[in-house]
Chains A and B, each alone.
Chain A
Amino acid sequence: MDFEFSPEEQKMLQEVRAFLKSEITPELKAESLAIGYCYGGQLGREFVRKFAANGWLVPNWPNEYGGLGASAMLTFAIKEELAYIMPLIFVAAHMAGPTILHFGSEEMKKQWLLPIARGEVEFALGYTEPWAGSDLSALTIEAVDQGDHFILNGQKTFNTHSHVADYHWLATITDPDAKRYQNMSMMIVDLKSPGITIRPLITMAGWQTNEVFYDDVVVPKENLVGEMNQGFYYLMAALDYERMFPMGGYRRLFDEIVQYAKETVVDGQPLSKDPLIRQKLAQLAIELEANNLIFYRLAHIIDEGKIPNYETSMQKLFATELAQRITNTGMDVLGLYGQLKKGSKWAALSGQVEHRYRWSVVETIYAGTSEIQRNIMALRGLKLPSK
C-alpha cells in the first residue's frame, strides 16, 4: 500500500499548479462561469490550448494521440488540481475522446484524437431527451441511414454547452425496430449544420443549458462512432471511465469557508471557536478525505488494467452529495451574509457560497441521479436481483 504520490508525480503536479496560478485570470474565470464552467469562450479556448500543449488535457492517452502515456493516477490528480483553481468540464477530451480511443475506427482516431488532445475542438453531450432522462434507452431522436449519410430528426434537451461547442456527441436511434439497447448509435455532429436550432434554458444557478432541435440534419457516415447500433454499450462503458467527479472546486470552497470561520468574530470570539461550527467543519474535512480515497481508487483500478464498476457510481454519488453538504454548511457558517450575491454590498466570500449552493443541486441529478448510482451499485456491485 501507498497513499502518497510518487516524487515524479509530485513534481509534475507542482508544474501544473504553477502554470494554473499564472495563466488563470479573473477574466477567464468570469467567462467560464458564465457558460457553466465549460470552455468554448474566446479566453477559455486560448487557455485550454496552452494547457493542452503540455499534454495535460489527456495525460493518460498514448503519445501518438497527443497524450503523455501517463498513469490514470496522474491524470486524475491533474484534473483535481485544475478543478481546485477553476472547475472546467471537458466533454471532448474526457468523455467522447476515451470512447473514440476504445471503440473508434483507425480513421476516426486519426481525424479526431489529436485535435481533441490539443484542445482545439470541443463537444457538447447529446444524450438526454424530454422523455429519456434516467432511462436513456427511451431515446426517440432518429438517424435514418441514407447510404453515405444519415438524416437526423428529433429533439434533445439539457444539452449544456451546445451553444458554445463545435460538435455534438450525439446518441441517436438507428434501428427503431430493434430491441432496447440494440437500437442506438453514437455519432459526431457539426453544430453548425443546417437544420439545427438551439433554444436556451437558463438554470437556477444562472448558467445556460439548451434544447437542441434537429430538422432533416445531414450527418456524414464517417461520423458514426464504432459499430452501428452499439451506441448504448459505448455510452455505458464511457460512463464507467468518466463518471468520476473531481472535488477540487468544492475543496477550495471548503478551505475558504474554514478561513472565513477563523477570521470572522461574532459575539467576541471567532466563529471557528464555536463547538458546533468546529464539529460541522471537521465532519466535512473527514468526508472530503473519504471522497479523496474513493476518487483515487478509481485511478488505481484503471492503472491495474481493470475497468471500474460500481466504484465509479459510489464516488459520483458520494462526491455530489458531499458537495451539497459543503454548500449548505457554508450557508450556515455565513449566516445572513450567505444569501448575499456576488456584487452585493456586504457579500461574503464574493457570493460564492450562495452560488455554489444553487449550483450543487444539479450535481446529484446529472450524469446519473443519486438513485441511478445506487441502483448500479446494488445491481452491479452487490449483484442484487433486478426482479
Chain B
Amino acid sequence: MNYDLNKTQTILKDEAHRFLAKECPSDFVREMAEDETGYSKELWQKMAELDWMGVLIPEQYDGIGGNFLDLTVLLSEMGYSCLPGPFFSCVVLGGLTILEAGSDSQKTDVLPALSRGEQILSLAWVEQDGTYVPGGIKLAAILNGEEYILNGTKLFVPYAHVADTFICVARTGQTLEDKNAGLTLFLVNAKQQGIHIETLITMAGDRQCEVIFEDVHVSKDNILGQLDQGWPVLKKVLQMSAVAKCAEMIGGAQRTMDMAIPYVKGREQFGRPVGAFQAIQHHCANMLTYADTIKFMTYQAAWRISEGLPFEKEASMCKAWGSESYRKLVALAHQVIGGMGFMEEYDLQLYFKQAKAAEQMLGDADFHRELVAKEIGL
C-alpha cells in the first residue's frame, strides 16, 4: 500500500493550487454567482491551455491521457477554490459518458474539441422524480424513419444554458421483465430547434437548468452506445462521477480547515485564544478526522477506477461517507468560527452551500448506503 501521490500528481496539485489561487479568488466566485452565464470564458480557455479539459482524454483524441487519480487531484483543487463553471458537467459527466459509450467516430467528433475547451457538454439525465434510478426516466424517444423524436422535460441539467451538446437519456423501450432496459443515450445539439432552456436558481449559485425537449429530431447515428442499453453506462458514470464529486469535497474540506484553524488560534475570548478551550479543540479534532477520512475514501475509490479494478462498493462508500462528513465538518467550522462565519462576506458560506449541493448531487448518503447494502450482500 502507498498513500502518497506520485511526482506528476504532486506537481499537478501544486500548479493547480497556485493557478486557482490567482485566477479564482472568492470575489470571483461571488461574482460568477451573479453573472448571467455563471462562468468566465477567459478562465475556461486558460484552463484548456493547461490541458485540464483533456486530463482523461486519450492522446489520440488530443487529450493528455491521464488517469482518474490525476482528475481527482485536479478536482480537489477546484473544490478548494470553489471554482464556478461547467468543468464538472462537461469533463466529468459528459466526458466520461462519451469515453464509456462513444463510437470511435463520435469520440473523434467530440473529444478533441472538448479537450481544446471549444465544446461544452452536459448530461441531461434527471427528471421530475429527482432520482438517479432508471424508473425516473420518462422522456420519450420515438423512432420515425431514420430519426428519433424526443419529447419530455429534463431537470437539474448542469450548465445546460452554455452547453453545445447534450447527452440526453431517453426512454426507447419499456419491458416489465427488466426495469433497467429501455434507456438510450443520445447526442443532441443543444442549439437545436425544439429545445427550451430555463436556468433554475440554486442555493450554491451553480447553474442547473430545466431543459424541455419538444419534438426534437435526432439522427439514429447520434445514439451513444447501444439502443435500449443506456443504463449500465449511466450506472458506471454515476459511480465514477460520485467519486469525482467527493474529490471536490476533499478540497472544500481542506479549505474549511484552513479557515477555521487559524481563526480559532487568533480569536480571543475570556483572555485567551478560543482554540485553547477543549470544547473548541474537540470540534477541531473531529473536523480533522472528517477531512482525512474523506480524502482516503476518495483516493482509494479513485485509485481502483484508475487501475481498472471493481470500484462500485468503494465508490458508494466514499460518496455516502463524504456527503455527510463534509457537511458535518462545515457545521463544526461554523460552530467554532461563530457569528463571523455566518456573514456573506466571510468565505465559509460558500463551502456551506457547496457541501450541501455536493451531498445532494449524484446520490446522497441514503442512496449510496442502499447500494453499499447490496454490495455487501444484504
Contacts and interface: CB of A to CB of B under 8 A. Distances in A.
Contacts of B265: 383-385
B258 to A, nearest CB: 11
**A73, A377, A384, A387: which has the most chain B beta carbons within 10 Å?**
A384
B303 interface: yes
A2 B2 contact: yes
B288 A289 contact: no
A374 B289 CA distance: 10
Interface in B59-99: 69
Interface stretch (B25-33, B231-239, B290-298, B348-356): B290-298
Nearest to A2: B2
B276 A385 contact: yes
A371 B372 CA distance: 31
Interface of A (DSSP majority class): helix
Most buried by A among B5, B376, B377: B376
Contacts of B222: none
Interface stretch (B44-52, B174-182, B187-195, B279-287): B279-287
A385 B376 contact: no
Interface string A248-265: 000000000010011000
A290 B297 contact: yes
Contact of B69 (A1, A277, A285): A1
Contacts of A22: none
A203 interface: no
B1 interface: yes
B288 A377 contact: yes
B303 A385 contact: no
A134 B303 CA distance: 40
Given A281-B376, A290-B293, A300-B2, A1 B299 contact: yes
Contacts of A289: 297, 300, 314, 317, 321
A379 B284 CA distance: 10
Interface string A1-42: 111110000000000000000000000000000000000000
A385 B273 contact: yes
Interface band, chain A? 35 or more
B326 to A, nearest CB: 13
A238 B310 CA distance: 38
Given A281-B373, A296-B1, A382 B261 contact: yes
Contacts of B293: 290, 293-294, 318
Contacts of B299: 1, 3
Chain B contact residues: over half helix, strand or loop, or mixed?
helix
B369 A283 contact: yes
Interface in A342-387: 371, 373-375, 377-379, 381-387
B4 interface: yes
A272 interface: yes
Q: How large is the interface on B (under 10, 10 to 19, 20 to 34, 35 or more residues)?
A: 35 or more
B288 A381 contact: yes
B285 A378 contact: yes
A207 interface: no
A188 interface: no
Interface in B94-129: none
B264 interface: yes
B378 A281 contact: yes
A283 B273 contact: no
| Residue in B2, B278, B321 with the greatest tally of chain A CB atoms within 10 Å | B2
B198 interface: no
B140 interface: no
Given A279-B369, A293-B300, A262 B1 contact: no
A378 B284 contact: yes
Given A282-B369, A293-B297, A377-B288, A4 B1 contact: yes
B304 to A, nearest CB: 7
A311 B4 CA distance: 15
Interface of B: 1-6, 69, 261, 264-265, 272-273, 275-276, 278, 280-282, 284-286, 288-289, 292-293, 296-297, 299-300, 303-304, 314, 317, 320-321, 366, 369-370, 372-373, 376-378
14 contacts: A1-B3, A3-B1, A4-B1, A258-B376, A272-B378, A279-B373, A293-B300, A297-B296, A310-B288, A314-B288, A317-B289, A378-B284, A384-B276, A386-B276
